[in-house]
Amino acid sequence: MVEVRTATIADPAVVKIHWGPVIAGSLVAAAFAIALHGFAAGMGISLSSSAPTWRDASIALVLLSGFYLLLVGLLSYGLGAYVAGRLQPRIGAGSDMSDGMHGLLVWALATLLTALMLMALAVGAGRLAAPSGASAGPAASVAGENIIAFDLDRLFRGRQMQGDINHTRAEAARILLSASSHRGMLDEDRSYLTRLVAANTGLSQPDAERRVAEVTARATENIARARRSAAILAFIAAAVALLGAAVAWYAASMAGNHREGLEPVPEFLDWDKP
């Protein structure tokens, strides 16, 4: 007969997840990040804008925006993880692993919450920015049209035809967006766009061709600027997320030491002080 012995795991090594502190810390981190992102948007130091203005060409502003995004991420993750660590019940020795894991959970959940909030804000802003008379469907707008909206205004400046131009504008936007593709704008598309401009503005064929060439060059530059801004923003966001995981682990562990009385609590963090 073979005797089977079951090994028991020491209590300090067992990580028990307390979801209440995790959710609370995640909400704090996400709300704090949204508030600071709103402040950045109001101050004009957000990288998400692709408008053809001086701020897109400013290297100093790009660096400032990147530093601000990094600061927001580290502060938000750190604050949320610290809150989660302080709200946990006391567990005695061996709390470093437990608090660190709770900090990682706060980091993961706060990242998802912040992404969902930012997506909701972006959708709402897009609806507010849409023309009031625009109808649903491909004739009203196309993806990326707001990037080249001013270029479309230039294209049909001096329009003489009356009536709804939404279909014509959306069609022209799709052709302009193809100029930034790998193969560029096709000759037949350029000719068709020239005829659209001539028919809607009353320009002669040579003048319409010059306007199409100028607007196409501007639109291509604005689309490239938008792509660069998106790439920079994505890279910085990824770096912030990775660094945020380490900060969340450290902040939660520090909160655990404060909670267990293993380290002196700074006066401004001493919640138990009357």
Give the H or E element holding residue 243. Answer: helix 205-260
**Over the chain, what is the mean pLDDT?**
77
Report the C-alpha gap between 225 and 238 in whole angstroms. Answer: 20
Over the stretch 2-24, which tens digit does the pLDDT of each residue have? 444 443 444 555 567 888 999 99
Residue among 245, 249, 241 nearest 114 (CA) = 241
Scanning 17-160, the segments in alpha helix (DSSP H) are 19-43, 54-57, 59-87, 95-129, 149-155
At residue 165, the pLDDT reads: 80
Over the stretch 184-225, which tens digit does the pLDDT of each residue have? 899 999 999 999 999 888 889 999 999 999 999 988 888 887
At residue 50, the pLDDT reads: 45
Q: Among positive and negative, which fits the CA dihedral 25, 31, 36, 40?
A: positive
Residue range 251-269: mean pLDDT, rounded: 78
At residue 139, the pLDDT reads: 44
Residue among 38, 51, 106, 108 nearest 78 (CA) = 106
Max Cα–Cα distance, the chain, nearest Å: 101
At residue 244, the pLDDT reads: 92
Report the C-alpha gap between 200 and 196 in whole angstroms. Answer: 6
Sequence-separated (6 or more) residues with CB below 8 Å from residue 144 = 173, 177, 223, 226
At residue 9, the pLDDT reads: 40
Residue among 237, 269, 236, 256 nearest 103 (CA) = 256
